[in-house]
């Protein structure tokens, strides 16, 4: 049994905030993301962020498009990707480009999509892993620290494309692996890569996420069934919940 760690919201680097509604959650997320990106740029002259897909973060991306950031010092990655062309309506890359990246003067070289043009998704995963190793100038076996990794959860407590009961949950030595959603391949950050982040920020909205949250925050539950339990970063962990998702935690 993979239990994963317990989120103690009162510890120094573990935070759970319940916001009145989605708009407030998005505003708080924007505030935190800007704080972490600007801090990274101030200290290291570069900031790295990995985006989540789905619907919750889209209004955040739209607000980021209104910001005046040093775009040449920001590098954008994705924490997971559906295995579809970049023009497909399900593409996380496409969603973020339309909501944010096509609206700001970020250099093309600063945008690092998970490519989905290989017949074999495992080859695509290996290729993206090599790209990340090159970018961070690390050796195989080393893990880079992204400044911010944005995540959501599904009703089944998956995060990124780490789905319950899948082999992707057991991968420990890789940065990138192949996820599996009901037989559909995904490319995803592994739990160890996510856990090396400086800041992990979950955005969770909607009554349909209540059960998943109760199991993620439970003292002991099997992370194989509730994969978000695996996310215990060495850095800061933020859970931003709207009232409908987090009313049992406020
Ligand atoms: C994806 C996401 C996925 C998402 C959750 C929540 O590729 O779909 O990365 O992990 O964050 O499924 O999605 P919603 O925000 O739409 O509820």
Relative to the CA of 160, which ligand 1 atom is closest?
10
Q: What is the pLDDT of residues 139-193, one digit of tens each?
A: 999 999 999 999 999 999 999 999 999 999 999 999 999 999 999 999 999 999 9
Sketch out the chain's domains with CATH numbers: 14-249 (3.40.50.1360)
Measured CA distances, 235 to 13, 167, 196, 226, 244 (Å): 7, 25, 7, 21, 27
Split at pLDDT 50, 70, 90, the class of 83 is very high
Atom of ligand 1 nearest to the CA of 52: 9
Confidence of residue 74 (pLDDT cuts 50, 70, 90): very high
pTM (two decimals): 0.96
What pLDDT shows up at residue 248? Answer: 86
CB distance 91 to ligand 1 below 6 Å: no
CA of 139 to the centre of ligand 1 (A): 30
pLDDT, mean of residues 116-126: 98
Query: Are 26 and 63 spatial neighbours (Cβ–Cβ below 8 Å)?
Result: yes
User: Which ligand 1 atom is nearest residue 79's CA?
Assistant: 9
- Ligand 1 pocket check for 59: Cβ under 6 Å: no
Q: Cβ neighbours of residue 27 under 8 Å, at least 6 residues apart?
A: 63
**Residue 108: its pLDDT value, please?**
98
Q: Is 159 in the pocket of ligand 1 (CB under 6 A)?
A: yes
Q: Could you identify the atom of ligand 1 that is nearest to the CA of residue 82?
A: 7
Probe target for ligand 1 pocket from 22, 152, 228, with the most ligand atoms within 8 Å of CB? 152
Q: Sheet holding 80-82: strands in order across?
A: 80-82, 184-189, 176-181
Residue 16 has pLDDT above 90, yes or no: yes
Pocket flag, ligand 1, residue 54 (CB < 6 Å): yes
Average pLDDT rounded to a whole number, residues 203-231: 97
Answer yes or no: is pLDDT of 1 > 60. Answer: no
Residue of 25, 54, 179 best suited for mutating to test ligand 1, as the one with most atoms within 8 Å of CB: 54
Residue 188 Cβ inside 6 Å of ligand 1? The answer reads no
Nearest CA to ligand 1 atom 13: 54
* pLDDT tens, position by position, 18-58: 999 999 999 999 999 999 999 999 999 999 999 999 999 99
Q: Is 109 within 8 Å of 76 (Cβ atoms)?
A: no
Residue 229, pLDDT score = 97
The whole-number average pLDDT for the span 12-21 is: 93
* 167 CB-near residues (< 8 Å, 6+ apart): 180
- pLDDT of 110: 98
Helix, coil or strand: residue 148: strand
| Separation of CA 45 and ligand 1 centre (Å) | 30
175-186 pLDDT, tens digit per residue, is: 999 999 999 999
> In this predicted model, which residue has the larger pLDDT, 225 or 9?
225
């Amino acid at each position: 049994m993979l239990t994963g760690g317990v989120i103690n919201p009162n510890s120094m680097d573990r935070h759970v905030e319940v916001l009145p509604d989605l708009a407030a959650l998005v505003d708080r997320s924007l505030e935190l993301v800007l704080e972490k990106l600007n801090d990274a740029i101030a200290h290291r002259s570069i900031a790295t962020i990995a985006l989540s897909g789905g619907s919750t973060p889209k209004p955040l991306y739209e607000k980021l498009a209104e910001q005046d950031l040093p775009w040449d010092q920001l590098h954008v990655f994705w924490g997971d990707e559906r295995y579809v062309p970049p023009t497909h309506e399900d593409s996380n890359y496409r969603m973020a480009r339309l909501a944010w990246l096509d609206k700001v003067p970020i250099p093309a070289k600063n945008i690092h999509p998970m490519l989905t043009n290989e017949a074999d998704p495992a080859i695509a995963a290996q290729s993206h892993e090599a790209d990340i190793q090159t970018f961070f100038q690390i050796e195989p076996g080393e893990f880079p620290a992204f400044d911010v990794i944005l995540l959501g959860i599904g009703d089944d407590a998956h995060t990124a494309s780490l789905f319950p009961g899948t082999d992707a949950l057991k991968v420990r030595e890789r940065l990138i692996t192949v996820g599996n959603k009901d037989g559909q391949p995904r490319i995803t950050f592994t739990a160890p890569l996510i856990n090396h982040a400086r800041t992990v920020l979950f955005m969770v909205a909607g009554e349909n996420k209540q059960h998943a949250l109760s199991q993620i925050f439970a003292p002991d539950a099997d992370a194989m069934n509730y994969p978000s339990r695996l996310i215990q970063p060495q850095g800061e962990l933020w859970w931003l919940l709207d009232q409908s998702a987090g009313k049992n935690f406020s």
